Amino acid sequence: MCRFRSGDEFYMVKIIEKRDSADKPGDAKHVEYYVHYEAFNRRLDTWVSLLDFDLGTLEKPRAKETSDAQPNKDDGEKDPKKKKHKKDNDKNDVKVENDGIAAENRMKGHGGHGNAHPDPEHAEFDPRALQEHEEFTKVRNILSIELGNHEMDTWYFSPFPTEYNGTKKLYFCEYTLAFFKRKEQLQRHLKKCKVQHPPGEEIYRNGKISFFEIDGKKHKMFCQNLCYLAKLFLDHKTLYYDVDLFLFYVLCEWDERGYHVVGYFSKEKCSEEGYNLACILTLPPYQRKGYGKLLIAFSYELSKKEGKVGTPERPLSDLGLVSYRGYWTRELLALLADPNRQFVSIKDLSDLTMIKTEDIITTLQHLNLLAYQKGAYVICAAPDLVQKHLKNAGGPGVKVDAKKIIWTPFNADKEYEKYRG
């Protein structure tokens, strides 16, 4: 077992990697170990010292486990056996909520190292592919970042250029998202940087909130840097770095210093499957403020302006599904609760909300408001039950004022003509 975050609580861990201490290289007593806490998501994996272990709880590893990353006998320590540590109560559970799809669950077989079955977020990968993904991303290469006035501990590996591997902290320009190894480099950059907002077009402003639409083909460097940044907080294998085919919608708070990135979502310029969202993130300092709900709602407001039914790209994480189901519930039940709409079909709901019919069916089934009779679905929504579900769905977060969206949908034909010259 190992101490958790310099506190008094100990949890069973699996040692993933080891390295010499930067202060005393070659000294076996000062080796650092990268550990995964079996009770939690791997976003909480970290480097610890020998003093953090409770040596009395260590056991030999299973025969099939490799010993490359385990302490050797010279360290005076036996290898820990992978064993999930459970408490009788939940007071030691660590919960970190991300206000959108990036939300993470306490680890119950999700996202851990060496799981036999993929978690819902990686459900499309077979166990071997998932194991390869986790092996490649098992150790965070960047431990923390500075973005504007915020310092953030990272959660996951991100494939930055190799020259940045081993950098404990990266410094980002909050306007261009250029990143640097040293703060002095960032300060020199800021003296030359004349912009105070993301590139692209500002398509929405309401109070201190703004959205920018950024074409990945026109502003490739910014969008690639945004993907590098996002991957530090998203455990997705399928995060795209070929940004030319995507549009990025960056949410900002603005003040006298400029526009500060809060989060974003991306979408394919032309999605054959009808996806209106590919990837979504709310940065840690801005979570639990309703911004994740705002990002989801904004993606559907764009779908309404396009006149196209939309749905998020699959697979959804478990809490990603919770976030979307909450939005779908609020939108659908608000219409069902309208006394002026006595008769409404699933097709009517889809036309009014631009939510895909399959998502409407699964949501209403989850709420037990849908029956299947004589080969057709029938909505059974008693007023008191609708109000109960609306109350349980929670608030809408930061609301979108659709009248303030100034936006023209992407024209694929026009883009193709430019390409042909």
Q: Which residues carry out catalysis? A: 313
Would you say 94 and 40 are in contact if contact means Cβ atoms under 8 Å apart?
yes
Tokens of 61: 């590893």
Please name which of 270, 327, 262 lies closest in space to residue 98, comparing C-alpha atoms: 262
Report how far residue 301's alpha carbon sits from residue 234's, in angstroms, rounded to the nearest whole number.
25
- Phi, psi of 105, rounded to the nearest 5 degrees: -100, 155
Provide the 3-class DSSP secondary structure of residue 206: strand
Phi, psi of 93 (to 5 degrees): -70, 140
Asked if residue 310 lies in contact with residue 274, where contact means CB atoms within 8 angstroms, the answer is yes
In sequence order, what are the residues at sequence separation of 6 or more whose Cβ sits closer than 8 angstroms to the Cβ of residue 144?
A: 151, 152, 153, 154, 168, 169, 170
DSSP codes joined into one string, 141-186: S--EEEETTEEEE--S-----GGGTT-SEEEE-TTT--EESSHHHH
Q: What is the signed CA dihedral for 319, 322, 328, 331, rounded to 10 degrees?
A: -110
396 in the Ramachandran plot: left (φ > 0), alpha (ψ -120 to 50) or beta? alpha
Q: Which has the closest alpha carbon to 165: 187, 139, 189, 133?
A: 139
What are the start-end ranges of the H helices in 367-411? 383-392
